[in-house]
Chain A
Amino acid sequence: MKSCLIVDDSKVIRMVAKKILNELSFSTAEAEDGRQALDHCRNAMPDAVLLDWNMPVMNGIDFLRELRKLPGGDHPVVVFCTTENDIEHIQEAITAGANEYIMKPFDSEILQAKFSQVGLL
């Protein structure tokens, strides 16, 4: 079973994502901000990270840059999931090492399509 870390400061979004990912046979863990997510990754590197951009303490893009510097930090497939929907943000995310990018609002179909595109399904 593949593991996915859900990083979002909204409890509702985490709940929705968890439900969809469980249906796609992922085990899930949750973090409320980039700092918590980084701590989680230091302990146990997930196969995938579903990542919000705007969060308190540490935002998504800073988390991603730190993650990629960690030992084994190139392993997780990182899929951004954010309301930021302009080319500049997307470009910045790809440059920082994101594998895919979901623009909110999203549904299970989009999440499934994106996860299968990056070979997670």
Chain B
Amino acid sequence: MRPEDFDFIAKVLKDRSGLVITPDKAYLLESRLTPVARKRGLKGLDELMASLRSAGEDLLREVTEAMTTNESFFFRDMKPFDQFRTIVLPHMLQARAARKSFRIWSAACSSGQEAYSLAMILKEEAAKLAGWKIEIVGTDISQEVLEKAKAGLYSQFEVQRGLPIQLLVKYFKKNNEMWQIDPAIRAMVQYREYNLLHDVKPLGQFDVVFCRNVLIYFDQPTKTRVLDNVSRLMPDDGFLYLGGAETVLGISDKFRPIPDQRGIYGVNRGGSAGPSLTAGR
């Protein structure tokens, strides 16, 4: 690829999604965008680059989606979900006992595995949640993955990565070669198209935010901006989950690590002692 083409596409991706693509990741352009080029009857990356410069919204969007779609597994890394079930959920049930409702956000939810994992946990804990209204909202920049998330259809490979067999049997039905998640679980999650770089207010307030393995794709100023935006949607006692390789330290002072709970961060408004998580321990 010509250097000026690389610079052009890198800028498009950065502006539209925050995704930072460095020259050592140029191979990703090749593997992700060649199918897009073929779909349009173009001969390859070079022709795609040429038409991108005069392209309309549709193609720019498609290219951005193709580059930002990432892997997702059920119960990815397991521990965050154990923490949710044994610590965060009991804490919220206590802290929100008066209004009996809270909201969870799966930010950059991809094809929905994280949101559905949370929904399955809530379903398993249903006995404790009678009379509660718990909303789960999944957002992603890509329409295509959101369609997949809504359909709740997964391949045999996808349902074997992280999903315990008992939950597969309980909450999925086989649909030809695919597995489809139960309509009752699907109904627990709302999906919306949303760009993390845009104004967040229309989404409303979230008590628990999962934003895992998202920041790793952004440069430092974008990370700071996204974290600051997210903090504005959260109450003082809200909790943020980041991925195993991510942190707020040195990036944003709007959050602080929760002692002894790796990967979970509390909102930091300065002054007060901040949130703590003690329920269930």
Interface residues of A (CB under 8 A from B): 85-87, 90-91, 94, 98, 100-103, 106, 109-110, 113-114, 116-117
Contact = CB atoms under 8 A, between A and B. Distances in A.
B166 interface: yes
B165 A101 contact: yes
A91 B156 CA distance: 16
Contacts of B157: 110
A113 B162 contact: yes
Task: Bin chain B's interface residue count.
Answer: 10 to 19
B169 A91 contact: yes
A113 B174 CA distance: 21
Interface in B153-173: 156-157, 160-162, 164-166, 168-169, 173
A119 B169 CA distance: 20
A101 to B, nearest CB: 4
Given A102-B160, A109-B161, 15 more contacts: A87-B169, A90-B165, A94-B166, A94-B169, A100-B165, A101-B165, A101-B168, A103-B156, A103-B160, A110-B161, A113-B162, A114-B160, A117-B78, A117-B162, A117-B164
Contacts of A102: 160
A87 B160 contact: no
Contacts of A91: 169
A51 to B, nearest CB: 13
A86 B78 contact: no
A51 B166 CA distance: 17
A107 to B, nearest CB: 8
A87 B173 contact: yes
Contact of B160 (A94, A98, A113): A113
A85 B169 contact: no
A90 B164 contact: no
Nearest to A80: B165
A80 to B, nearest CB: 9
Interface in B27-78: 78
Nearest to B157: A110
